């Protein structure tokens, strides 16, 4: 697990250096996988109707509910590799 955590942190660092910005759906997937991998299930209150970006992020993360942290980390690492 320690090795996976190091790979996850390295992928998060390399995500800041992608050659081009991914599309919005990929960005939401990256966000959700990162949050699920680092924090776990979403327990935050759903943002209000006027906060469309916040709601999209919340929905993406909430869609990962019950995904194991290690699984989310590995999916995040794999996705970053495909984007690099």
Residue 1, pLDDT > 80, answer: no
pLDDT value at residue 2: 80
- pTM value surpassing 0.75: yes
Q: How far is CA 55 from CA 13, 62, 68, 75, in A?
A: 25, 10, 22, 22
Q: At 79, which CATH number?
A: 1.20.80.10
Tokens 């906060």, located at residue:
51
Tally of domains in the chain? 1
Domain that holds residue 25: 2-83
Per-residue pLDDT tens for 9-38?
999 999 999 889 999 999 999 999 999 999
Q: CB–CB of 14/22 below 8 Å?
A: no
For 26-44, give one letter per residue: b (16+ CB within 10 A) or e: eebbbbbbbbbbeeeebee
């Amino acid at each position: 697990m320690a090795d996976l955590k190091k790979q996850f942190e390295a992928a998060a660092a390399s995500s800041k250096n992608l050659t081009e910005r991914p599309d919005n759906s990929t960005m939401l997937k990256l966000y959700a996988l990162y949050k699920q991998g680092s924090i776990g299930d979403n327990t935050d209150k759903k943002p209000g109707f006027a906060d469309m970006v916040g709601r999209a992020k919340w929905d993406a993360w909430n869609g990962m509910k019950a995904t194991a942290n290690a699984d989310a980390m590995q999916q995040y690492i794999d996705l970053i590799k495909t984007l690099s």
